[in-house]
Structure 1
Amino acid sequence: MSVPSVRIGVDVGGTFTDFVLVDEARSRVLTGKRLTTPDDPGRAILEGLDRLLAEAGVGIGDVRQIVHGTTLVTNIVIERKGARIGLITTRGFRDSLEMGREMRYDLYDLFLEKPEPLVPRPRRMAVTQRHDAHGTERLALAEAEVRDAARALKAQGVEAVAVCFLHSYLDASHERRAAAILAEELPGVPVTLSSDVAPEIREYERANTACVNAYVTPLMDRYLAVLEAALKAKGLGGPLHLMLSAGGIATVGYSRANPVQLIESGPAAGATAAMHHGRIAGVADMISFDMGGTTAKMCLIEKGEAEHASVFEAARVRRFRKGSGLPLKVPVIDLIEIGAGGGSIAQVSAMGLLTVGPESAGSVPGPVCYARGGTHPTVTDADLLLGYLSPEYFLGGEMALDRGAVERAMEEHLARPLGITVLEAAAGIHAIVNENMAAATRMYVAEKGRDPRRYAMLAFGGAGPVHAYGLAKLLKLPRVIVPAGAGVASALGFLVAAPAIDLVRSGVQRLNAVEWSGVAQKFAAMEAEARAMLEDAGAAPGDVTFRRSVDMRYAGQGFDIAVPLPDAIDAASVEAAFLDTYQRLFDRRITGVPMEVLSWRLNATASRPSVPESSAAGDGHSLKGERPVWFPETGMAPCRVHDRYRLRPGERHAGPAVVEERESTIVIGPDATFMADSHGNIIIDLTGDAA
């Protein structure tokens, strides 16, 4: 009996659902793309899998593993379509969700709108109990009050409950007892404990994390249960795994219990794919640029690795405005996300200015050119009119684009109100969305103390290669790399991600008061827990590596930084690591000031799975013809169109040019050259010196 050798990655985005099939036995990679079905995301997944397996000539029984990532958690929170939840918290902290950090994300907005808590005040219950900042019990849990709270929540028809007690990250016994009482009083109602999902300091963020997890648990539990059952019914023998926001993969069981950990799974997959392609291309320092149908994501990758963050902000009131959302204690890959995608809608503002995004047409109704009911012009519509996209070869020719409808919509909604031509409106959309992305990238890189001109760009996503040249010019980057299968690269990211987990233990202490034997015990316990979880997710016994870090600050500071730790730690080595990290981030080194430790962190990772490497094996007859394409330097002018699959490795071409593949299109301006390398990447050199 043959061992199943097929692995499949599935990325459900706001506009498209992407697929990558890796057949290890035959050393081949196949891709697919389907419009997302927002009413039932599983439908697009199952239909796309059927087609992909048929194209590959294999059955579902040949599939060893499916790895899935989804925007469903994010969408539930943004659209406020989650469960009816309640919160039980420490007496005196009932309103902490509304008070938040008491910080204004816009100092000069007199009508500042704050994010509404997921739990309205009548469903927030306070009970008597108290642990202090050292984990010492000061007031016992009033169990009768917990029962009364549970009955009050039951009367209000709650579907899930979050529990967040003060300092429970140091002693979770009260939360666990409360969970036992809730199980008796509310049988079948899922309960989220803050000490399980976010066992670390900062009450507001911890409470938000518990509430978001409770809010999405009923829907995500049903979705994953139904999807897993449908795949098993089709004959899937291998496991279904999920991508976590920090870039690792986990079991369905873990994901159903901790769905908040999936909130950034799609963007994390893109960054993971970028690191993979960077290793293949031999580029260690780059800006990952992932532009899909709804959003654009940028991630700074140095020495082959992306940075991680321990806080993520969800459901911003001012979309993509830092400080306007719900802060969550969730480990994530540190990237920036803005409302700039192929589906971003262009309109005339109240001041008579052309604006683009952040609202998106999504997959339903989609851009005007999709002919699915969209009426307002989008970035994809502009790219069609500018000649970047072929109306006959979109998605490899499977989806014809309606140019006439776009021209009419552009004239009605933009050109006529602005007093410009349709072509000028389209060029304006393209320029504005590129400028928006460039401004966001500059700020993101500058906050890390870096100069973007030092980096190459790795571009992917359905719209990424279309806009990469223009964005790179604005950022003054020397080189753009477009990997094979760029339009579905995030789905590949699922298949090159290693099983991984992040654990944390909090406790504020001065560095000179730390008991190092106790720290060693904390790390030993976390390592044992992480190893068991990774082996459950498919890691081989013993095949787990650990990275340690600590959150630290100078005494008196309100915020902390993540400090990588050496293998052997003591007061001197940790102090040196903190000073080095602080100087790298802030270009200063302050000595003689007491330091504090807040949280000890452990990242556990198994080996990365391998995938067959793409190769460029074209016959050199790549020229498909010419069509008019718009560039700022030339206006609308004839431009060569190439077939990516027929480009010969090492063969250099000069721009302007358009290179077409099934899931995306690469645009190269008149001042650039490009070539295919031996790994199937397209290298675009903006200085005329590609290697």
Structure 2
Amino acid sequence: MSAPHLALAVDIGGTFTDVVVLDQRTGRFHAHKELTTPDNPARGVVTGIARLFAREALACADVGRIVHATTLFTNALIERRGARTGLITTAGFRDTLEIGHERKYELYDLHLPLPEPLVRRSLREEASERIGPDGGIEQPLDAGSLRAAAARLVDKGVESLAVVFLHAYANPAHEQAAGRILAEAHPGLPVSLSSEVAPQIREYDRTSTTVANAYIKPLADAYLGRLSTDLRELGLRAPLFMMLSNGGLTHLEEAQRVPVQLLESGPAAGALAAAVFGARSGLRDLLAFDMGGTTAKLCVVQGGEPLVAHRFEAGRERRFTRGSGLPLAISTVELIEIGAGGGSIARLDALGLLKVGPRSAGSEPGPACYARGGTAPTVTDGNLLLGLLDAEGFAGGTMRLDAGLAERAVGEVATEGGLATAEAASGIHAVVNETMAAAARVHVAEHGRDARDFALLVTGGGGPLHGCEVARRLGIRRVVCPPAAGVASALGLLLAPARVDRVATLARTLDQLPPEALEAAFQRLEEEAGAVVAATLGPDVPREVRRGADMRFAGQGYEIVAALPPGPYGAASLAPLRDAFLAAYDAIFTRRPPVQGIEFVNIRVSVSAKPPGSSLEPGLAAAPTPVGQRGLRIEGKLVPVPVHARAGLVAGARLQGPALVEDGMSTLVLPPGAVASVEANGNLVVTLPGPRQAADTPLMEHAP
């Protein structure tokens, strides 16, 4: 019997579940798209795997590892579908969730909507105990008050508990004791301790993160347990790994312990894939643009790596306004999500203006053209009427699109707006493109960059469809479309390293912190993170260790994250540590305040290791496949344009726009004047016409 040589990836999105199998010996892969099953996401996963394995005659016994990403937990948090959660805090701190940061994200709005806490006040209790900021015990834990508080919450039907004691980041002894007491008093009740979930300073952020973890923990336990069972029944015995929000992998037990780390796992995989495919074309500064059926995501890749943030907001009251959501102290690939996907619904607002999204038809009932009961006009319906989609080969041929139903749905909004159906379809396409481009402009500007300095790498089922037009609106001249772009996020799961981030609070100035104590603190975090990596990929896999810290000038209220030189640290390390902070500060603010003292707030460690067998075969043909034609609406007229099969392209080939390139999972639209080059690595690199060459009217929009 041969050793397992297949790696399996599953990425659950709002509309489709993507399944990819990679042969680690040859680098070849096979992909399948299955409609997501919202009532039981595991059912769609199992169905998709079974269909792909049957189609390609693959054996479950040949699978050596399974990697999974899902938006299930993010959606549960946003839609408030988590467990009935209780919170036990230090006496006097019951209202931390309501007090928050004590500031308004829009100063002059008298009717400002604030994010509603995940735990209402009646489900918050207090325990008698107190630990000081230096870690000293000021009041011992009263076990009786803890038991009484937990009993009252259990009587109220609480299904999960969060325990957040004051200054537990400095000394977790009371929380650890509380965990043992609660496990004995209420066996089987999930308990989340802040000292394990978010062991860092700032009471509101730590409380919010721990509560969110407790809120989704029963859901994560149930879903991951059910999925593991279903995979075993299918014949898959390989270990199951989970993608984390920071772009790394971890084993199942760690994911179930701290599921809040999984919130942005799907988008993180797409950003990783973009970095890998961009590097194959020698591009290290990219905008990773992924458009699926429900949302579009955009991430800045600088120096070959996606930007990682150490703070995240869930469920924002105002999508693009910082401070309007629930703060979560987790490491996550920094990206922006836009309510614009293939299922985004078009409508006329009160002024008669065409709007698209953020409401989506999802997978049930889906766009009207899916013929699954949907009647609202969506982006996919509009794209079908414009000739951008192949009705017979959509989603790899797994479903047939109904143009008649699409015309009926789009026709209703057209009639309401006094437009022809074709004009309404063009309008839907144009509006969703501008929505995505506008969000991208803001996101890039917030990082102090100009979008024109980047190439745009497109993934997802809708990324190649809309990418060139979004790039044109941003002033970007180069667009990269990788192989199997429609399932690139799932491919990213197989390319991702195992990565674990750990954080600890020091809150000491640099001159007051002995280098030996700093080194000991870093080594402790590295050992903890290294143990998780070893449990994921094995003890002998080579690891990369990175150190960082949240630092600030003494007296400042907020800190920045600075990358630090590698250890070990000694007396000679003070100057390099100071220089690392100053370089990071100068890069953001360009000027320094007249202050000499520098303070460490939190220290951070990232330990990562690359899994074996993560190379990809480009999948180019030895000879070109014959080219067909399809009618495409260009400047309001139906024009026959060539259709190229992606699998039939040869290295070095050049394609002239207007044209379509199909690979079953997605379609790349080349506008007039664009030139696409086929690289030996499988990437399609599109050069768009400059401002003087570009047509006055975008590809899919009607001339005035």
Q: What TM-score do you get using the length of structure 1 for normalisation? A: 0.96
Contact 1:125 1:149 in 2 (8 A): yes
* Residue segments in structure 1 that go unaligned for 5+ positions in a row: none
Counterpart for residue 268 of structure 2: 268
Amino acid at match of 2:126: A
Amino acid at match of 1:166: L
Counterpart for residue 580 of structure 1: 583
1:505-553 CA deviation, whole Å, 9 max, x = no partner? 1121222222221111011111111221111112342621100000012
Deviation, structure 1 residue 107: 3.4
Counterpart for residue 551 of structure 1: 550
Give the Cα–Cα distance (whole angstroms) in 2 for the partners of residues 410 and 639 of structure 1.
24
1:427-447 CA deviation, whole Å, 9 max, x = no partner? 121111111111111111111
Counterpart for residue 23 of structure 2: 23
Counterpart for residue 301 of structure 1: 301
Deviation, structure 1 residue 392: 2.0
Give the Cα–Cα distance (whole angstroms) in 1 for the partners of residues 659 and 619 of structure 2.
19
Amino acid at match of 1:379: V
2:208 alignment partner, SS class:
helix
Structure 1 residues 386-395 or 581-590, which shifts more? Answer: 581-590
Give the Cα–Cα distance (whole angstroms) in 1 for the partners of residues 283 and 594 of structure 2.
36
Give the Cα–Cα distance (whole angstroms) in 2 for the partners of residues 233 and 614 of structure 1.
31
Contact 2:537 2:611 in 1 (8 A): no
Counterpart for residue 336 of structure 1: 336
Counterpart for residue 651 of structure 1: 653
Counterpart for residue 135 of structure 1: 135
Contact 1:200 1:206 in 2 (8 A): yes
Identity among equivalent pairs (%):
47
Counterpart for residue 489 of structure 1: 488
Counterpart for residue 605 of structure 2: 602
Give the Cα–Cα distance (whole angstroms) in 1 for the partners of residues 53 and 376 of structure 2.
36
Alignment of 1:639 with 2:638, yes or no, is no
Give the Cα–Cα distance (whole angstroms) in 1 for the partners of residues 88 and 52 of structure 2.
47
Counterpart for residue 668 of structure 1: 670
Contact 1:250 1:500 in 2 (8 A): yes
Give the Cα–Cα distance (whole angstroms) in 1 for the partners of residues 152 and 315 of structure 2.
28
Counterpart for residue 218 of structure 1: 218
Counterpart for residue 700 of structure 2: none
Deviation, structure 1 residue 396: 3.0
Alignment of 1:437 with 2:436, yes or no, is yes
Counterpart for residue 369 of structure 2: 369
Pick aligned residue for 2:629 from 626, 630, 649: 626
Counterpart for residue 350 of structure 2: 350
Deviation, structure 1 residue 608: 4.1
Distance 1:118 1:369, change over 3 A: same
Contact 1:499 1:539 in 2 (8 A): no
Structure 1 residues 610-619 or 678-687, which shifts more? Answer: 610-619
Q: How does 1:465-484 map to 2 (within 5 A)?
A: 465-484=464-483
Q: How does 1:302-317 map to 2 (within 5 A)?
A: 302-317=302-317
Deviation, structure 1 residue 26: 4.4
Structure 1 residues 488-497 or 17-26, which shifts more? Answer: 17-26
Give the Cα–Cα distance (whole angstroms) in 2 for the partners of residues 2 and 26 of structure 1.
15
Q: How does 1:562-577 map to 2 (within 5 A)?
A: 562-568=561-567, 569=569, 570-577=573-580
* Residue segments in structure 2 that go unaligned for 5+ positions in a row: 692-704
* Root-mean-square deviation over aligned CA pairs: 1.7
Counterpart for residue 502 of structure 1: 501
Give the Cα–Cα distance (whole angstroms) in 2 for the partners of residues 486 and 3 of structure 1.
29
1:628 alignment partner, SS class:
strand
1:418-473 CA deviation, whole Å, 9 max, x = no partner? 22222222212111111111111111111111111111111000100000000110
Q: How does 1:110-125 map to 2 (within 5 A)?
A: 110-125=110-125
**Count of aligned pairs between the two proteins:** 687
Contact 1:672 1:688 in 2 (8 A): no
Contact 1:496 1:609 in 2 (8 A): no
1:241-289 CA deviation, whole Å, 9 max, x = no partner? 1111111111111111111111010011111111111222221111111
Structure 1 residues 228-237 or 251-260, which shifts more? Answer: 228-237
Deviation, structure 1 residue 635: 4.4
Counterpart for residue 13 of structure 2: 13
Deviation, structure 1 residue 503: 0.3
Deviation, structure 1 residue 19: 1.0
Give the Cα–Cα distance (whole angstroms) in 1 for the partners of residues 27 and 574 of structure 2.
50
Counterpart for residue 397 of structure 2: 397
Amino acid at match of 1:473: R
Amino acid at match of 1:663: M
Distance 1:542 1:392, change over 3 A: closer
Counterpart for residue 682 of structure 1: 684
Structure 1 residues 611-620 or 353-362, which shifts more? Answer: 611-620
Give the Cα–Cα distance (whole angstroms) in 2 for the partners of residues 378 and 53 of structure 1.
32
2:627 alignment partner, SS class:
strand
1:22-63 CA deviation, whole Å, 9 max, x = no partner? 112344211111100011111111111112222332211111
Give the Cα–Cα distance (whole angstroms) in 2 for the partners of residues 201 and 654 of structure 1.
56
Deviation, structure 1 residue 564: 0.2
Amino acid at match of 1:515: P
Contact 1:655 1:671 in 2 (8 A): yes
Give the Cα–Cα distance (whole angstroms) in 1 for the partners of residues 628 and 445 of structure 2.
42
Give the Cα–Cα distance (whole angstroms) in 2 for the partners of residues 542 and 367 of structure 1.
46
Amino acid at match of 1:463: G
Amino acid at match of 2:289: F
Deviation, structure 1 residue 623: 4.8
2:245 alignment partner, SS class:
coil
1:104-139 CA deviation, whole Å, 9 max, x = no partner? 233343322211111111110022222222222222
Distance 1:128 1:459, change over 3 A: same
Give the Cα–Cα distance (whole angstroms) in 2 for the partners of residues 368 and 687 of structure 1.
35
Counterpart for residue 694 of structure 2: none
Contact 1:134 1:507 in 2 (8 A): no
Contact 1:243 1:262 in 2 (8 A): yes
Contact 1:319 1:358 in 2 (8 A): no
Structure 1 residues 183-192 or 6-15, which shifts more? Answer: 183-192
Give the Cα–Cα distance (whole angstroms) in 2 for the partners of residues 469 and 587 of structure 1.
35
Give the Cα–Cα distance (whole angstroms) in 2 for the partners of residues 420 and 232 of structure 1.
54
Deviation, structure 1 residue 324: 1.9
Give the Cα–Cα distance (whole angstroms) in 2 for the partners of residues 365 and 377 of structure 1.
12
Give the Cα–Cα distance (whole angstroms) in 1 for the partners of residues 167 and 345 of structure 2.
45
Contact 2:83 2:218 in 1 (8 A): yes
Give the Cα–Cα distance (whole angstroms) in 2 for the partners of residues 323 and 609 of structure 1.
40
Contact 1:319 1:339 in 2 (8 A): no
Counterpart for residue 126 of structure 1: 126
Contact 2:547 2:564 in 1 (8 A): yes
Give the Cα–Cα distance (whole angstroms) in 1 for the partners of residues 616 and 184 of structure 2.
54
2:537 alignment partner, SS class:
coil
Give the Cα–Cα distance (whole angstroms) in 2 for the partners of residues 278 and 26 of structure 1.
21
1:287 alignment partner, SS class:
strand
1:139-160 CA deviation, whole Å, 9 max, x = no partner? 2222221111011012111111
Contact 1:545 1:606 in 2 (8 A): yes
Contact 1:14 1:36 in 2 (8 A): yes
Amino acid at match of 1:532: A
Give the Cα–Cα distance (whole angstroms) in 2 for the partners of residues 68 and 370 of structure 1.
26
Deviation, structure 1 residue 232: 1.9
Contact 1:22 1:612 in 2 (8 A): no
Distance 1:361 1:565, change over 3 A: same
Alignment of 1:179 with 2:182, yes or no, is no
Contact 1:539 1:606 in 2 (8 A): no
Deviation, structure 1 residue 235: 2.5
Contact 1:481 1:684 in 2 (8 A): yes
Alignment of 1:64 with 2:64, yes or no, is yes
Q: What TM-score do you get using the length of structure 2 for normalisation? A: 0.95
Give the Cα–Cα distance (whole angstroms) in 1 for the partners of residues 22 and 679 of structure 2.
21
Contact 2:8 2:65 in 1 (8 A): yes
Structure 1 residues 261-270 or 389-398, which shifts more? Answer: 389-398
Structure 1 residues 311-320 or 185-194, which shifts more? Answer: 311-320
